Structure 1
């Protein structure tokens, strides 16, 4: 069964993308914990992160590193948290979350119904920083 992330990647569902290559994409979360909360997702549908090839895993972490650098420049934070939980969607994804404390990394506090225009403005900031890296 096709995951919601595959449907986003293929353009069947809108996504606010900040990065794309032949192996993965990155887009803003529609239920963010903070402004600039990005999901890095392999194009290949892999459920659990330990089932990815070592090469794909290394690529996702390299992309996550680059995007995290851009996040830290575009959004005020002390750190960029990285979480791989894997419970709600059976398609591996890495959360990159600008944060200033552990207490901010609580998915029960995720925003809902973020306006597309807000996400697009955040994407512009991130892509501007990515272009400088």
Structure 2
């Protein structure tokens, strides 16, 4: 296993469903498991074959994971994606770390049968609705955001 896990005060009071699944306290359709990870089918799939990949240790979010564990997480995601492509006959499998709903690092692996599988576009089209794309960012805003992120990365690198 890896280093100490990250927990939040809320996580200390509320049982984590992914920890319960990883510890086999809750049943799941497990497709892969090892000492560090468990992958299982989502019970509310976006598309058939939708898999959740979770770390056994509780880490709230992807950036809380130790780097070596995060690297294995990505590698396992690639391995699962390749298997899913063959099974489902799709060209792409989406790998999403959303950071929402459950504060336990996880990725959704979704076979993409259509380009709209992980967007709201199909729903909007089915309902006869329309939406405007996000506004185009100005060159100034892009430069500002780029500079902020570059500065934050440089400061973090100096602390390493």
For normalisation by structure 1, the TM-score amounts to 0.76
Residue 21 of structure 1 aligns with which residue?
34
Alignment of 1:44-123 (within 5 A): 44-106=57-119
- CA deviations on 1:5-54 (whole Å, 9 max, x unpaired) are 11111121110001111111100111111111111100011111001011
- For 1:47 and 1:103, the matched residues in 2 are separated by 28
* Structure with larger Rg: 2
Deviation at 1:101, TM superposition (A): 3.4
Residue 16 of structure 2 aligns with which residue?
3
Dislocated runs of 4+, deviation >3 Å: none
Residue number among 35, 42, 49 corresponding to 1:36 in the alignment: 49
- For 2:18 and 2:115, the matched residues in 1 are separated by 27
Deviation at 1:78, TM superposition (A): 2.5
Q: Which runs of 5+ in 1 are unaligned?
A: 110-133
Q: Are the counterparts in 2 of residues 72 and 98 from structure 1 also a CA contact under 8 Å?
A: yes
- Counting matched residue pairs gives 108
3-state DSSP class of the match of 1:104? coil
3-state DSSP class of the match of 2:116? helix
Residue 125 of structure 1 aligns with which residue?
none
- For 1:78 and 1:99, the matched residues in 2 are separated by 7
- CA deviations on 1:103-131 (whole Å, 9 max, x unpaired) are 11048x9xxxxxxxxxxxxxxxxxxxxxx
